[in-house]
Homo-oligomer: A and B are copies of this chain.
Amino acid sequence: MCKIRVTIWNEFRHEKSNETVKKLYPEGMHKAIADGIAADDLEIRLASLDEPQNGLSPEILEQTDVLMWWGHCHHQDVADEVVKRVHQRVLEGMGLIVLHSGHKSKIFMAVTGTSCSLKWREVAEKERVWTVEPSHPIAAGVGEHFDISNSEMYGERFDIPQDGEIIFMSWYEGGEVFRSGVTFKRGHGKVFYFSPGHETYPIYYNPEVLKVLSNSVRWAKPVYWGKTNCPNVKPLEAIATKEIDLSYLPSRLK
């Protein structure tokens, strides 16, 4: 059996500059996620912003089946050409899992075509994640709901397109609601956005969160790789030779 080749991409700057984050994730959130979802059918690689080509060279992408993305304050530092390359790879079949503040990443706005704007608040409040679609593979083994003791609040209106299938919806202590787990398809690639994951809380050690991420990787695994060219094709049926019909043309132009 071929392993699923997962690349977990992380901005990986908070962990170096912020003491709280450094204590929680000394090797980076991407490493905590990698450890948390490690399994025999996964081949996991880490990548981050300050590596050459932002860690996402053509060679690495070609060896990636599913890309997970965590970014926050430095979305603008990801090169446009890297974003185009990732986008193209999604359209050809690669899975894309976008986490938390990645809602404003260039790549998520590119695949959705929207601003992905939302309301937010950071007061360590409680978030309750409700499973809306229990028969979706991403929700397998997740109960009717699970709680995250401390979370950054992300609230509606979330500006995403209407083809987002809602897998999870969240309730917040402070009074908001949010579509916290949503899937899309773009080209031949599957896309999943999952909002829990603030860097100053230990969310990526939460077993329910890890189960969701773990499920999402299997769900997003490519089953088909396709091209996105525009082929010029020959007719399959005979075309009656004909003049151009000018009957609607204004008389002054005839």
Can you list 18 A-B pairs with a CB-CB distance of less than 8 A? Answer: A117-B228, A121-B232, A121-B234, A131-B157, A132-B157, A132-B158, A134-B224, A135-B223, A144-B157, A145-B236, A149-B247, A159-B187, A169-B169, A173-B240, A174-B237, A200-B244, A205-B248, A206-B248
- Quick check: B174 and A177 within 8 Å, CB to CB? no
- Quick check: A188 and B135 within 8 Å, CB to CB? yes
Q: Is A2 an interface residue (CB 8 A)?
A: no
**Which 3 residue pairs across A and B have the least CB separation, nearest first?**
A174-B235, A163-B163, A175-B236
Rounded to whole Å, the gap between the CB of A156 and the closest CB of chain B is 5
CA distance A132 to B176 in the complex (A): 11
Residues of chain B lying within 8 A (CB to CB) of residue A118: 230
9-residue interface stretch from A6-14, A47-55, A56-64, A107-115: A107-115
A177 interface neighbour in B130, B230, B244, Cβ under 8 Å: B130
Residues of chain B lying within 8 A (CB to CB) of residue A128: 175, 236
- Give 1 or 0 for each of A112-138: 1 = CB within 8 Å of chain B CB: 111101111101110010111111010
**Chain A residues with a Cβ under 8 A of chain B:** 23-24, 26, 87, 91, 93, 104, 110-115, 117-121, 123-125, 128, 130-135, 137, 140, 144-145, 149-150, 153, 155-159, 161-163, 165, 169-177, 179, 184-188, 200-202, 205-207, 222-224, 226, 228-237, 239-240, 242, 244-250, 253
What's the number of copies of this chain in the assembled complex?
4
Rounded to whole Å, the gap between the CB of A217 and the closest CB of chain B is 17
